[in-house]
Amino acid sequence: MPLFPMAVLVASVALAQPTTRPIPPATVAATRPVFRPAPRPLGEPLGKVPLRDLCRLSMENGQIEVTTTLQSTSAMARPVTIPELDGQSKVICHDYIYSLENLLTRPDGRHITTKVDVRTANVNIEQTVQEGQQIHTVALYQSRSDSRTGLKAGQVRLTVTSTVTGAATRPQQISWQAEDLGALRRQRPAEIDQYLRPVLRTLHAEHLLAPEPWAAHQVLADPQPAAQLHADVMELVAKLDADAYLDRQEAAARLQKMGGHAAAVLSRLDRGRLSHEQRLAVERILQSPQTLSAAMIQSLRNDPNFLLDCLYVPDRSVRAAALARLQQMRPDVKFDIDADPDARAAGVARLRAALASVTPPQAGDR
């Protein structure tokens, strides 16, 4: 059956500072009841459908995509059994609306609702946990273009909301936004790991946090001695003024790939001694959003979760470098970087559990 793709376009926006605010009264009611009768009768049950066929989440050029093998039917929710998810699930697949909802009641009394909604290519991934009167919601939203949310095309927002039903105090909300999920992952790693990662784990979709290859290459490149780094950068700077266009482009690309370490050298150059062509190229590299700072490179290089996320990347060289770095931190780590994507995902899950006790090295460690 034909796939039913949903995609979100990408644009650029600077990372906003986290904001904490009460939810306006008009939206409070929407956060309170977690479990309630369906607003309309359920449609014909779908039976048992694997999660990968029902709702496959992927990332393409910064866009979260949702695909399903279901054919578009009516807007009526249909019960479905998903082997990978406990609890009760239902799905809507109709024209440009897709919605998957899973309801789970745990033995400890917690009620957990996990949702994936796509409407006109806007994607919302959300999980609400209700324990007694306390309600905690984590939502990731990526917009195509929706002025009501304050987001432009491609931007993402991670929102965490906490409330107590029947309490006099209003719900509290904190949110972070960035140009795309990759940028949010790099700039807010602690918040991603604490809030979003468990939601994606429920949906077997932690691979959405795989870094872009350009970022992974910058982080995983072997650190060079300062003198050698300076010499390599200056050699490439000289080539920025080469007669051949392709030579200039290659030099710029290599400097860009070196990231923040090269940028640190470039920022100290006396640009008055450079040609016009060299100055333009250096300024483009220093201002590029694809140039990670040396501090960020060092932080991510020592982050086991980031290194594990690199094992999802299609580029084999990235997976090999990430595994080598993990083995420096934990020599007994074993992983098949040539396994198929599903097997790699299962292997990453096992490794993540095994490495949960690893303490990241200090910033100066190599």
The tens digit of pLDDT for each residue in 305-358 reads 999 999 999 999 999 999 999 999 999 999 999 999 889 999 999 998 888 755
Residues 181, 183: Cα–Cα separation, whole Å: 5
Confidence bin at 16 (pLDDT 50/70/90): very low
- The beta strands (E) that lie in the chain are given as 19-22, 56-60, 63-67, 78-80, 88-94, 97-105, 111-119, 122-131, 134-142, 156-164, 172-178
Q: How far apart are CA 143 and CA 156, in angstroms?
A: 7
> Quick one: pLDDT at residue 146?
59
Look at residue 18 in the predicted model and tell me its pLDDT: 46
**For the chain, how far is it from start to end, CA to CA, in angstroms?**
50
Classify 198 as helix, strand or coil.
helix
Phi, psi of 94 (to 5 degrees): -145, 115
Enter the pTM of the model. 0.74
Beta strand segments in 63-105, E: 63-67, 78-80, 88-94, 97-105
Tens digits of residue pLDDT in 24-63: 333 333 333 333 334 445 567 889 999 999 999 999 888 8
pLDDT at residue 6 in the model: 43
Q: Tell me which DSSP letter residue 163 carries.
A: E
Residue of 245 and 153 predicted with greater confidence: 245
Strand partners, 130: 111, 135
Taking residues 228-254, what's their average pLDDT? 90
Q: Is the pLDDT of residue 269 over 90?
A: no
Contact criterion met (CB below 8 Å) for 60 and 49: no
Given a cut of 90, is residue 159 above it in pLDDT?
Answer: yes
| pLDDT level of residue 147 (50, 70, 90 thresholds) | low
8 A C-beta contact, residue 170 and residue 192:
no
pLDDT computed for residue 130 by the predictor: 94
Neighbouring CB atoms inside 10 A of 147's CB total 8
